[in-house]
Amino acid sequence: MLILLMKLSYFTCNAQTSGNASVGFTLSNVARISIASSGSSTLTLASPSTAGSSINTSINDETKWLNFTSAVASGVSRRIEANISSGSVPSGLQLKLGLNAAVGGGGTLGTIVASTASPITLGSAVIVLNNITGAYTGVGVGSGFRLRYTVSISNYGLLRSGTNVVQITYTLIDN
């Protein structure tokens, strides 16, 4: 009988209990954007080698990379707009922008609006990337979206020699 009581008391003393702990999560709204560069961008229109030939506009620049990090509230998406914020494109020329497919990163990096196959003419603000939600591109040259700047002639009659510099501002904003 004593052995039976000892066995019952052993099982009774080893009963388990449990406890709970609450853990909260807070993620702030995140919107960071930068342009990484592997050099300066200069689009030089070369003189034709033969009189009567057109000016060569088959030049482009791909030294800049678009990097960003985004965290948005549920149901919200973002876009990136590009805008010439200072300077002006010389009369008779058009500056175009196209994005290559993203390299690296993760999340929902958005939909390219200005692709290298269908570049957008820069001037006033234009959407170049849309429907970004929670995403990151990676940091620096070789990560994110490689930017391609090209130039085209829109009106030969307005062309004048000289050098112009424009600054392009990229803005990550909520849709």
Q: Is residue 111 part of a domain?
A: yes
Segments forming the whole domain that contains residue 125: 29-39+59-156+164-175
Residue ranges of the chain with per-residue pLDDT less than 50:
2, 4-5
pLDDT of residue 4: 47
* pTM, full prediction: 0.84
Q: Which amino acid is at 125?
A: A
Is the distance from CB of 55 to CB of 46 less than 8 angstroms?
yes
Strands, DSSP E only, in the chain? Answer: 30-37, 60-71, 78-86, 93-99, 106-107, 111-112, 120-121, 126-132, 135-136, 145-153, 167-174
Q: Is residue 135 part of a domain?
A: yes
Q: How many domains does the chain have?
A: 1
Q: Is residue 149 part of a domain?
A: yes
Q: Is residue 95 part of a domain?
A: yes
Closest CA to 132 of 150, 145, 117, 142: 145
Helix (H) or strand (E) holding 10: helix 2-13
